[in-house]
Structures are given as structure tokens and as C-alpha cells.
Chain A
Amino acid sequence: MNKLENDLKELGKKILLDKTVGKIIGYSYGTLAGKCVPVFIDKPEEAGKLTWNSFCDTNLARYIKKEIPKEGKIAIIAKGCTGRAITQLLIEKQFPREKLYILGINCAGTIDRRRIANELGSTEILEIIEKEDKILVKGTGFEKEFPRAEYLNYLCKVCKYPIPPIYDVLVGTKEPKGHIHDKYEDTLEFEKKTPDEKWAYFNETLKNCTRCYACREACPLCYCLECFCDQTQPSWFCKSAEHSEIAVFHLVRAMHLAGRCVACGDCNVVCPMGIDLIPITRKLEKIVKDRFDAEVGIDPSKPPSLSTFCIEDQEEFFEEEE
């Protein structure tokens, strides 16, 4: 058991005992090997269930709105992207800051379990053990090692903020990760394609979408009481899995998250059909950075990019007379 996890358990027990908080939202081991599930702990003796490892990929900020009490406080375990989502939710005034006790964690990135499972084919993974820089995967009659750094989620590889921008206590070290200069090479590469190639790519990737809305349900920033795709009066878009409807759903979802998406990649992790939603996430990040010179969920005093404006905004795409 690592030191960070131990610290977390002790701290969790302490804050529940002295009634600083009434509940902790954290991670615990699930039934699948190499998959951690959210856990809600309100008894000090249960604090031992808390865990922290490279498989804690859920963004817990999703649960704050449902769990926040009328009186008292809740604690949440926040890695970098959870912290950014919390900041963004605070900017959007979704709950008061004093109701939340943030246990910050210096996150070293989460593992892309889907990629490992895909590479192993149909063999079932029975145990995953994390070593220093290796991931040891065990199953019936086999053992295989994967290099940790290579099998991180893509967004973790390019993550610049492993520590949440706001926190009450930081568990573990404050040691920053090496500097990452993100040039959006993947997005630039994609944009070199012709419109037809791009459309063909999205046709191909999105054709598997069953519109289960798992991406929406997992997203910490999708908190509307009635989503545009559930509306019936007026019903803007149909519920069918016809291709243009799927494309429109993903376009509007992206549109609604522009300037708000913190690029945690949870939509991608939860997709049951394995659709790669990372290009859209990255494009949103790039648009906000290039056009509005903003980064989401870093500065609590900045309004969301699309709720504000600047007189000098670029308008090169506007038509002029010939």
C-alpha cells in the first residue's frame, strides 16, 4: 500500500471523527480488476475503504451537486481535473464554496484500461498490480507487463495541471510534474485533412454511437435539469440513431461544453461503444485557447468564455463585400 493512500485513509478518518465533514466522496476498489468506483463514506470506521491509484479515472465533481447537504459540509478527493471542474462549477455558482472541503491530490495520470484490455483481446484480466513505472497484468495462465508512461490516458499525457487549482488540504507531495509544452499537434494533424476526409472520419467513428448518453451522464459540467436531447417541446432533434442526428448530438454537446470543458476525458472513458471522443475535447480546448486566450477552470475570477466577450475578438470568418 502506498504512502499517499495511507495518508488519505487517516485524514479521511480524522475529518469524519471531528465532524469537519459529514461525508467523503472518494474512490474505492470495484469488482473489476483495474477499475475503481466512486464511494460515499459517512462513517469514520469505513474510511479504510478509500483508495488512490492510477485507475481512479472517474471525475468525482459530477456527484457534488447531488450530494451537497443543506447543512454541513462534504469532502471530495480531487485530482487536477476534478479540481478544475469544481472551479468551473463554482464560477457557474452551482454550490457555495464553504460547503466543500477539497482534499487535493497530485495526480500522476490514470491508466487507459481499455487500451490494455483491447491489446489482450478476449482474455479476462483478473488482477492488475501497479509498480513504479510498470503495470503488471495477470490473468488465467499469463502475466504481462506494460510500461506505465505509455499506457496513460491521452489527456493525462498532455495534462498541465495535475494539482487542483483550489484545495483545502493537499495530500502527498506538491512536487510539480515536468513542464509540458502542449502544441496541439494531434489536433493540427487532424485539421490537415480535407472536409470530406474529416466527415468520413466522424461518420466512421460515430456510427457506433447508440445515443446512450453515458458521455453526458459522466460529464461534471453537464448538469442541466432537462438536456436539449430530452426536450419534447420543442423537440429540436430526434432520438433516433440516424447518422445526422448522432452528428448533431455530438456537435451540440461540444457546443454546450465550449469554454466549460475541463478536458478530464471522462466522456471517453465511460463510452460503452469505445468511441474516441478525445479529438472533440482537444479541439474545444484549442478553440478556447486560440480564440479567447483562456484556460477552463484555472482562474475562479474569470467568467466562462462564452458568457462574456471582448471588443477585440477575432472575426476573420465574417463576410465582407467583394
Chain B
Amino acid sequence: MTTIETPIHITNELDHWEPKIITFLCNWCSYAGADLAGVSRIQYPPNIRIVRVPCSGRISPYYLLKSLQVGWDGVLISGCHPGDCHYLSGNLVARRRFAVLKDLLDFFGIEPGRVNFSWVSAAEGERFAKIVRKVVKKIQKLGPIKKLVKENPFQPNKCEAQ
């Protein structure tokens, strides 16, 4: 099971470094979009792990920062297109939050490209695969995450372990 606190380690046959990317997908559009990509047998890189959230508006900045802190190399967030939100305006409020977070991360010097946002609808399996390919390529270029990573993240403190 994927959780934020246990990044996976992926290596290919040649034992090269491969990026590990955590993906937050909204239940109503992007998760179904990813499902469609799978059902339609569209190929995309295996570097991503999916966390399903009820709405992109549910994604707190804590999720992103914690993910980077424990060593995920990148984050991809996807929700319904503007106007299509199951909860009417969750993605629109989230868009403002993401804009601020993106600007702040750039300001603190986290490379642009570590944190990615997109809109994918339930009918866009092909688009989901293309975006994943693009993001994986981008993060491969950036290399393993060095900034914001906590020293010794695999020994969570006691209250986290509960």
C-alpha cells in the first residue's frame, strides 16, 4: 500500500536511478482517467504511485511538503477540469492554493518541476498517460531530490508511528 511516509524504491534492470513520484488523483475525474488508461492498455512509466483523494480541494500543502521531505522525487496532482468538479468549486479553490504553493516553492529554491499540477477528466486516459510520461521525463532530468529532504526520514518519531 502506498502511503506518503514510505517512498518506494524503483530500479530498472541496469540498476539505474529511477525517479519515484507520488500522485494525488481526485476520485471523480483523474482517478477514473488513470483507470481508463489502464483498461485501455495504454503504456506509461511505472514510476508513479497513486493516492486517491475525494477532490483536488482535499489536497493540503502538508501532503506535498511531507512527500518531498520523506524523499519522493516528485509530486503530481490532478483533478477535474475547471467547471467539472463533483463538488462544484473544489478544484477552483484548490487552483488558487496550488498557485501560491507553487510560487512559494519556487521562491524557496525548490526546482520548478518537482511539483506538478494537471487537469485530467475521466474520459482522458490517453492524456493521463501523456502527462505521466512528460512528468517522469522532467524529473529524470532533475535527478534525485536533495533539497527539503529530511535526514533519516525512515525512522519516524513515536507519535507518527501510531
Q: Residues 283-322 of chain A: 1 if any B CB is under 8 Å from the residue's CB, otherwise 0? A: 1000100011000000000000111111101110111111
Complex Cα gap A78–B117 (Å): 42
The answer on a CB contact under 8 Å between B150 and A245 is: yes
Complex Cα gap A192–B4 (Å): 33
Q: A202-B109, A251-B108 are in contact. Are A234 and B160 (CB under 8 A)?
A: yes
Q: A238-B157, A248-B148 are in contact. Are A308 and B62 (CB under 8 A)?
A: no
The answer on a CB contact under 8 Å between B108 and A247 is: yes
Instruction: State the Cβ distance, B75 to closest chain A Cβ, in Å.
Output: 12
Residues of B within 8 A of A193 (CB): 109
Instruction: State the Cβ distance, A81 to closest chain B Cβ, in Å.
Output: 21
B9 within 8 A of A: no
B100 within 8 A of A: yes
Residues of B within 8 A of A279 (CB): 107
B49 within 8 A of A: no
Complex Cα gap A279–B112 (Å): 19
A254 within 8 A of B: yes
Q: A252-B61, A305-B96 are in contact. Are A318 and B117 (CB under 8 A)?
A: yes
Q: A244-B69, A254-B104 are in contact. Are A322 and B130 (CB under 8 A)?
A: yes
Q: Residues 148-185 of chain A: 1 if any B CB is under 8 Å from the residue's CB, otherwise 0? A: 00000000000000000000000000000000000000
Q: Residues 142-162 of chain B: 1 if any A CB is under 8 Å from the residue's CB, otherwise 0? A: 000001111100000101101
B97 within 8 A of A: yes
Residues of B within 8 A of A310 (CB): 92
Residues of B within 8 A of A292 (CB): 96
The answer on a CB contact under 8 Å between A235 and B61 is: no
A232 within 8 A of B: yes
Interface size class of B (residues with CB under 8 A): 35 or more
Instruction: State the Cβ distance, B90 to closest chain A Cβ, in Å.
Output: 10
B127 in complex: contacting residue of A200, A237, A307, A321, CB < 8 Å: A321
Instruction: State the Cβ distance, A92 to closest chain B Cβ, in Å.
Output: 16
Interface size on A, residues (CB 8 A): 52
Q: A309-B89, A322-B134 are in contact. Are A315 and B109 (CB under 8 A)?
A: no
Q: Which A-chain residue is minimally distant from B105 (CB atoms)?
A: A251
The answer on a CB contact under 8 Å between B150 and A244 is: yes
A63 within 8 A of B: no
The answer on a CB contact under 8 Å between B92 and A311 is: yes
A199 within 8 A of B: yes
A127 within 8 A of B: no
The answer on a CB contact under 8 Å between A311 and B82 is: yes
B140 within 8 A of A: no
Q: Residues 120-147 of chain B: 1 if any A CB is under 8 Å from the residue's CB, otherwise 0? A: 0000000100110111000000000001
Complex Cα gap A228–B92 (Å): 24
Complex Cα gap A179–B75 (Å): 44
The answer on a CB contact under 8 Å between A244 and B82 is: no
B109 in complex: contacting residue of A201, A233, A259, CB < 8 Å: A201
The answer on a CB contact under 8 Å between A251 and B104 is: yes
A283 in complex: contacting residue of B61, B104, B135, B147, CB < 8 Å: B104
Residues of A within 8 A of B148 (CB): 244, 247-248
B1 within 8 A of A: no
The answer on a CB contact under 8 Å between A242 and B110 is: no
Subset of 8 A-B contacts with CB under 8 Å: A195-B111, A200-B109, A244-B149, A248-B69, A255-B101, A283-B104, A309-B89, A319-B135
Other 17 A-B pairs with CB < 8 A, given A283-B103, A318-B119: A191-B107, A193-B109, A195-B111, A199-B147, A234-B160, A238-B157, A258-B100, A280-B107, A309-B93, A313-B92, A313-B96, A313-B99, A319-B131, A319-B135, A322-B130, A322-B133, A322-B134
Point out residues on B near A: beta carbons under 8 Å.
61-62, 65-66, 69, 82-83, 89, 92-93, 95-112, 116-119, 127, 130-131, 133-135, 147-151, 157, 159-160, 162
Query: 7 tightest CB-CB pairs across the interface, nearest first?
Result: A199-B109, A198-B109, A309-B92, A319-B118, A321-B130, A258-B100, A195-B109
